[in-house]
C-alpha cells in the first residue's frame, strides 16, 4: 500500500489497486466510528439515569435523535456532557420536571455560566446547545414555544485570526531539524489543514506524485476536500516517507504507537517555539492554518478559491482573513496620509468645498414635492 502511494510512475493497475484499498479503508473506518458512536450514546444515557437527573427520558430521546443525525463521535460526546451539565443545573434550582422550564430558567443558566468566568465564546456555544435542546422539547410539545419567542444570545468578540509573521515563520523553521516534525509543520503551514485532520491522515491518502492530500472527511463539517502540497512541503514529506516505519498506517505517529494524539503534537510544537525564542507570542498549531490563509490572500488568491481549501461552508467565515490582507484599504490610507504629511491637503479641502457648494446650489433648484 505504501509503495502504491509514493511511487513516481504508478501503473494503471496500481492506481486501481490504490482506489480499492482506500475504499476498503474508508468502509472499515466508518464501521469503527459507528461502533464508537453507539458506545458513546449508550454510556451517556446510562450516566443520565444513574444520576437520576430531571427529564432524563426526554434527554435520552434527544440524544438518540442526535445519533440518527449521524453526528461525529466527538460532537455526540460534547452533547452528552452539555445535557448532563444543564440538567444538573436545573436539578440544583429545584426543577424536577422539564415541563416546569421557564424563560427565567434559561436566562439563569446563561448568567450561571458567565459567573463561572468562562470565555464568551464558550458561553455562546453552551447557549446554542441549550437552544437546540429547548427547540427539540418544543417540537415534542414538552414545553411551550414562547420560551424562545425572544432571542437568547450573548455578544461574542470577533478577534482577527492570529497569523505568524514571515520572519517568525523563518525563525521557527530554522530550528526544526527532526524530519518528521519538520514535515508535519510544513504540511500544516502549506495546506491549511487542521491538526485533527492531519493526525487522521493515512499514508494512503497522500498522493506525492499528484502533490496533494485527500481529506475524506473534514474535521468540523464532515465535508471532504483536497489540499495541495507546495515544493517545500512535498520535499519534507518525501524525506519523512523515506525514514518512517512503512508498517505504520497513519502518516504521523508517536514513538511506540500507531497514531499521534493532539497533546503530543502540541507539545512538539511548543518545544520548537521555545527553541526559536517565540514561546511568548502565543502561537499555536492552529496559527499555522491562519498563516496559510493570510499568505495566500496576500499573494492575490481570491476568497472563492481559498474557501474550499480551508474547508469552510460559508464564504463569510473565509472573509475574516480579508480584514488582515485588504491591500486596497492599506494603499488608500497611505496615499491619503502622504498628502496630509506633505501639507498639501488644503487644495483637497478646497475642492471638497467647491463640490459641496455645487451640490447645495443644485438642491435649491430641485422642485419641492
332 or 190, higher pLDDT: 190
pLDDT tens digits, 17-32: 445 444 555 554 555 5
Q: Mean per-residue pLDDT for 215-226? A: 80
Sequence-distant (≥ 6) Cβ neighbours of residue 108 within 8 angstroms: 93
Full-prediction pTM beyond 0.85?
Answer: no
Q: Mean per-residue pLDDT for 220-243? A: 91
In this prediction, residue 4 has a pLDDT band, given cuts at 50, 70 and 90, of very low
* Contact assessment for residue 260 and residue 250, using Cβ atoms and an 8 Å cutoff: yes
**Residues 291, 164: Cα–Cα separation, whole Å:** 6
* Contact assessment for residue 41 and residue 76, using Cβ atoms and an 8 Å cutoff: yes
Q: Mean per-residue pLDDT for 1-15? A: 40
* Contact assessment for residue 185 and residue 246, using Cβ atoms and an 8 Å cutoff: no
- The residue among 210, 248, 204 whose CA lies nearest residue 227 is 210
Residue 155 has pLDDT above 50, yes or no: yes
Q: What is the pLDDT of residue 30?
A: 52
Helix axes 56-68, 73-92, angle to 10 degrees: 160
pLDDT tens digits, 130-141: 999 999 999 999
354 or 35, higher pLDDT: 35
Q: What is the pLDDT of residue 6?
A: 42
| C-alpha distance from residue 9 to each of 6, 13, 14, 102 (Å) | 9, 11, 10, 67
**Residues 321, 325: Cα–Cα separation, whole Å:** 7
Three-state secondary structure string covering 265-316: HHHHHHHHHHHHCCHHHCCCHHHHHHHHHHHHHHCCCCHHHHHHHHCCCCHH
Q: What is the pLDDT of residue 292?
A: 94
**Rg of the chain over all Cα atoms, to the nearest angstrom:** 27
DSSP characters for 308-341?
A: HHHT-S-HHHHGGGHHHH-HHHHHHHHHHHHHHH
Sequence-distant (≥ 6) Cβ neighbours of residue 276 within 8 angstroms: 168, 171, 172, 174, 175
Residue 48 has pLDDT above 60, yes or no: yes
From the options 1.10.443.10, 2.40.50.220, 1.10.3720.10, 1.10.10.10, give the CATH code of 166-325: 1.10.443.10
pLDDT tens digits, 83-113: 999 999 999 999 999 999 999 999 999 999 9
Q: What is the pLDDT of residue 344?
A: 66
Backbone CA torsion sign across 278, 283, 284, 290: negative
Q: Mean per-residue pLDDT for 143-152? A: 89
Q: What's the whole-number average pLDDT of the chain? A: 85
* Contact assessment for residue 234 and residue 208, using Cβ atoms and an 8 Å cutoff: yes
Provide, rounded to the nearest whole percent, the portion of the chain with pLDDT above 90.
59
Q: What is the pLDDT of residue 9?
A: 40
**Residues 144, 328: Cα–Cα separation, whole Å:** 51
Q: Mean per-residue pLDDT for 147-175? A: 89
Q: What is the pLDDT of residue 321?
A: 81
Amino acid at each position: 500500500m505504501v509503495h502504491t502511494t509514493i511511487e513516481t510512475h504508478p501503473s494503471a493497475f496500481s492506481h486501481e489497486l490504490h482506489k480499492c484499498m482506500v475504499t476498503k479503508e474508508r468502509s472499515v473506518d466508518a464501521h469503527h466510528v459507528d461502533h464508537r458512536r453507539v458506545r458513546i450514546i449508550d454510556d451517556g444515557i446510562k450516566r443520565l439515569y444513574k444520576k437520576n437527573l430531571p427529564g432524563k427520558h426526554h434527554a435520552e430521546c434527544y440524544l438518540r435523535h442526535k445519533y440518527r443525525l449521524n453526528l461525529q463521535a466527538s460532537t455526540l460526546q460534547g452533547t452528552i456532557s452539555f445535557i448532563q451539565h444543564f440538567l444538573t443545573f436545573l436539578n440544583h434550582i429545584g426543577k424536577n420536571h422539564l415541563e416546569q422550564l421557564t424563560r427565567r430558567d434559561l436566562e439563569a443558566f446563561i448568567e450561571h455560566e458567565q459567573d463561572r468566568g468562562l470565555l464568551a465564546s464558550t458561553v455562546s456555544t453552551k447557549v446554542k446547545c441549550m437552544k437546540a435542546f429547548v427547540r427539540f422539547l418544543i417540537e415534542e410539545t414538552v414545553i411551550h414555544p414562547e420560551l424562545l419567542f425572544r432571542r437568547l444570545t450573548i455578544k461574542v468578540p470577533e478577534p482577527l485570526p492570529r497569523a505568524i509573521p514571515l520572519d517568525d515563520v523563518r525563525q521557527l523553521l530554522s530550528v526544526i531539524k527532526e524530519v518528521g516534525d519538520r514535515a508535519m509543520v510544513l504540511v500544516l503551514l502549506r495546506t491549511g489543514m487542521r491538526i485533527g485532520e492531519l493526525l487522521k491522515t493515512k499514508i494512503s491518502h497522500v498522493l506525492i506524485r499528484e502533490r496533494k492530500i485527500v481529506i475524506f472527511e473534514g474535521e468540523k463539517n464532515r465535508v471532504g476536500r483536497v489540499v495541495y502540497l507546495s515544493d517545500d512541503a512535498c520535499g519534507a514529506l518525501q524525506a519523512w516517507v523515506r525514514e518512517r516505519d512503512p508498517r505504520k498506517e497513519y502518516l504521523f505517529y508517536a514513538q511506540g504507537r500507531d497514531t499521534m494524539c493532539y497533546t503530543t503534537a502540541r507539545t512538539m510544537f511548543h518545544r520548537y517555539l521555545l527553541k526559536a525564542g517565540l514561546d511568548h507570542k502565543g502561537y499555536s498549531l492552529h496559527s499555522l492554518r491562519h498563516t496559510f490563509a493570510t499568505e495566500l490572500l496576500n499573494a492575490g488568491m481570491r476568497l472563492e478559491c481559498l474557501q474550499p481549501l480551508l474547508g469552510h461552508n460559508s464564504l463569510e467565515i473565509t472573509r475574516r482573513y480579508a480584514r488582515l490582507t485588504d491591500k486596497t484599504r492599506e494603499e488608500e490610507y497611505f496615499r491619503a496620509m502622504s498628502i496630509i504629511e506633505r501639507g498639501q491637503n488644503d487644495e483637497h479641502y478646497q475642492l471638497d468645498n467647491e463640490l459641496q457648494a455645487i451640490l447645495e446650489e443644485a438642491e435649491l433648484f430641485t422642485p419641492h414635492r
